[in-house]
Structure 1
Amino acid sequence: MAGSPEPHNRSLPSVWTAGDAAANIQEALDALETYRKKDPNKVVVRFKAVGNAPIMKQNLYKITASNRFQAVIQFLRKELGWKAGEPLFTYINLAFAPAPDDTVSNLFKSFATEGHLIVNYSTTAAWG
């Protein structure tokens, strides 16, 4: 066909060779090992009530950065004296509900405000 580009006659190099596969596996194992290590650092979490949720007397806490957000939810339930069946909705910066398996460290790195991870809590769904 006139005007169509010429086909490339070059072959693509092989990406996976035996040596590369071993290096990639080792790199993946190293990454998993790094992920498994507990981060001993602490993150300042500020709890803010939304709607008719009770206001906490103390709202600043230091929480281990390697904890999952689920630990923050459990801690908040304990501080408020709420049982597992009672509704509790949590949000980061009045914007979104984090997944329980997100790490506090990742949330802090991505969404910290003035050195705090702001966790809003409510008894009813406030945002989607």
Structure 2
Amino acid sequence: MADDTPKKEEKPSKIDVLLRPAGDAPILKRKKWQVDPAKKVEWIAGFLRKLLKCEQSESIFLYVNQAFAPSPDRDIGTLYECFGGDGKLVLHYAKTQAWG
């Protein structure tokens, strides 16, 4: 007997996050990272600060869809569910405010 109940889509254990530069931001050698969906946007910002060797006084701005800056306490899994596609979430980063 077949089970006709709709299956819930399984949440991925890791999300492919593509980091793309905007404005004057330096280009990363590696652009795709696998991130735990429970991580917060602020974690990505801190990770980027280390990768880019930012001074403590420098800011990092993150954007979704080249349009808005997600709040630092937003988790990556929720952003992926709302704005991800093709198995990945694209985030743009800049050292100066670029959009929004």
> Structure 2-normalised TM-score?
0.83
1:1-128 → structure 2 map (5 Å cutoff):
41-128=13-100
**Structure 2: tracts of 5 or more residues without a match:** 1-10
SS for the counterpart of 1:46 is: strand
C-alpha RMSD of matched pairs (Å): 1.6
2:6 matched to which residue of 1? none
Return the TM-score normalized by structure 1: 0.66
Following the alignment from structure 2 to structure 1, what is the Cα–Cα distance between the partners of residues 75 and 62? 14
Identity value in percent = 36
Where is the helix percentage greater, Structure 1 or Structure 2? 1
Question: Which has the larger share of strand?
Answer: 2
| DSSP-derived class of the 1:77 partner | helix
Structure 1 residues without counterparts, runs of 5 or longer: 1-38
Partner Cα distance (1:82, 1:114) in 2: 31
Question: Aligned in 2, Cα 1:114/1:40: closer, same or farther, shift over 3 Å?
Answer: closer
Moved over 6 A (4+): none
CA contact (8 A) 1:45 1:61 kept: yes
**In structure 2, distance between residues paired with 1:119 and 1:84:** 22
CA deviation map 1:8-40 (0-9, x unaligned): xxxxxxxxxxxxxxxxxxxxxxxxxxxxxxx88
